[in-house]
Amino acid sequence: MKLDSNISINSLEQPLKRFWELSGQKINLIESSFDTAKGAPVFTEKGKYVTRGWTEWTQGFQYGAAILQFDGTGDEQFLKIGRDNTLNKMAPHLTHTGVHDHGFNNVSTYGNLLRLIEEGKIEGADWEKNFYQLALKVSGAVQAMRWTNTIDGGFIYSFNGPHSLFVDTIRSCRTLVVSHGLGHVLQGENDKRISLIQRAIQHILSTVRYSIFYGNGRDTYDISGRTAHEIIFNTNDGNYRCPNSQQGYTGFSTWTRGLAWAICGLGETLEILDKIDESDFATVISKDELVAELTKAAIATTDFYLENTPTDGIPYWDTGAPNLHKMGDYLNEKSDPYNAYEPIDSSAACIAAQGFIRIGNWLKSSDQARAEKYIQAGVQIAKNLFNEPYLSTDPEHQGLILHSIYHQPNGWDYRPDPNKAPYGESCMWGDYHARELALLLQRMQKGETYYSFYNCVSQ
């Protein structure tokens, strides 16, 4: 990626205004035409959102998007959409024991609504505030039940089963963090009280120690900053076995959306550690040691992203994708979503840009030069996402950010031209995280309350 110091956060004022206008149109298109009885919207085909019955992990993005739209614009029709649908349709996600995605579904809905009350942006009666708090407490405890012990800690296991650690689950840890912040615990057999913050931190540590590489020679492909989508453990003795991948090319290449999840999850975790009492997790690790490990991981992953992404900061779906070698010097050119060889994943850019900014803001007090570099990268990625060819301006297209990919190995993504890689479509997580990115930048630009998931916990 090439950084341009002439691009600043203030240059995003007009792109943000246009972004929110288009965002509102897309939300209304989906709300008026999508039948949720068929499942949650996942990604678009020919511009229309469709379902994909793998796991129900995207409905929170659908209704959370409306809540973010209200937050960004003040338009109360979107608050009503988000509020009513959360109340009427999200309850099954609170007790869903079969997914590792509670942070996506429930913090995006119940969490955002509670956050708006705590920030004073909406009024909430006592019953409503208590309702959101109870929902988040339950969600954190249910998520924490998906637990596998390892020789040095443990992790929240993926929908593949108890042997499987997914890198993206680092961002679902926030539901455990919020539940703990609201004073909740998980009670197990014989009334054993299980700390949710300790489980969250153990999972994050498992991620940074096994899913992220540091060039220490663990295997032939141990390059600093790269990530593996999945890590396999022996559940009999808790030992690490090998890297693997579900949505990336291989366990020995880097699926860029997984890399982005790591960057984003690390950034928002570092930001909120000062709000958690160290004594609550000191039996796992000291705060100084935790900060050191997370900082090392954050710097490694962000630098890897910068080094392995085209000049505009929008990555291809996997850094080891098998046909990239046919594209010439592709890293020294802008991303090309219409190429014939490998698809772009704009959703990875939506997720990573937010992480860059959060890590940069957190580093300001300790590493000013690196902080400025990362914030600059996040701002530039946002500017490119919020303009063509990535911003969806077609009034009939339900997606907001174009040229995302869901599952390249499974061939699930629509190909409008069989002679080209998949292009032109959107996904629910990409669109949602683009809105989170826009809200973060807008609040920074206007000097408003800093946008953080932990704002839903009263301080």
Amino acid at 341: Y
Mean pLDDT of 300-316: 98
Retrieve residue 185's tokens: 């615990």
- What CATH number belongs to 1-33+309-447? 1.50.10.10
Instruction: Give the three-class secondary structure for 75.
Output: coil
Give the Cα separation of 276 and 196 in Å (integer).
Answer: 12
Kindly report, residue by residue over 193-232, the tens digit of the pLDDT: 999 999 999 999 999 999 999 999 999 999 999 999 999 9
8 Å CB contact between 212 and 297: yes
Task: Please write down the long-range contacts of 279-286, taking CB distance under 8 Å and 24 or more positions apart.
Answer: 280/180, 280/195, 280/197, 280/198, 281/195, 281/197, 281/198, 281/201, 283/198, 284/153, 284/198, 284/201, 284/202, 284/205, 285/201, 285/205
- What CATH number belongs to 146-285? 1.50.10.10
Kindly report, residue by residue over 327-354, the tens digit of the pLDDT: 999 999 999 999 999 999 999 999 999 9
pLDDT given at position 171: 94
Is pLDDT above 80 for 138?
A: yes
Is pLDDT above 70 for 31?
A: yes
Q: Return the domain boundaries, the chain.
A: 1-33+309-447, 146-285
Mean pLDDT of 105-117: 98
- Phi first, then psi: give them for residue 238, nearest 5 degrees: 80, 15
**Reported confidence tier of residue 56, pLDDT bands at 50, 70, 90:** confident
Strands 48-50, 43-45: parallel, antiparallel or unpaired by DSSP?
Answer: antiparallel
Kindly report, residue by residue over 183-202, the tens digit of the pLDDT: 999 999 999 999 999 999 99
Instruction: Give the three-class secondary structure for 237.
Output: coil
Kindly report, residue by residue over 242-287, the tens digit of the pLDDT: 999 999 999 999 999 999 999 999 999 999 999 999 999 999 999 9
Kindly report, residue by residue over 85-100, the tens digit of the pLDDT: 999 999 999 999 999 9
pLDDT given at position 55: 84
Is it true that 1-33+309-447 and 146-285 share their CATH fold? yes
Is pLDDT above 90 for 458?
A: no
**Reported confidence tier of residue 459, pLDDT bands at 50, 70, 90:** low
Kindly report, residue by residue over 388-447, the tens digit of the pLDDT: 999 999 999 999 999 999 999 999 999 999 999 999 999 999 999 999 999 999 999 999
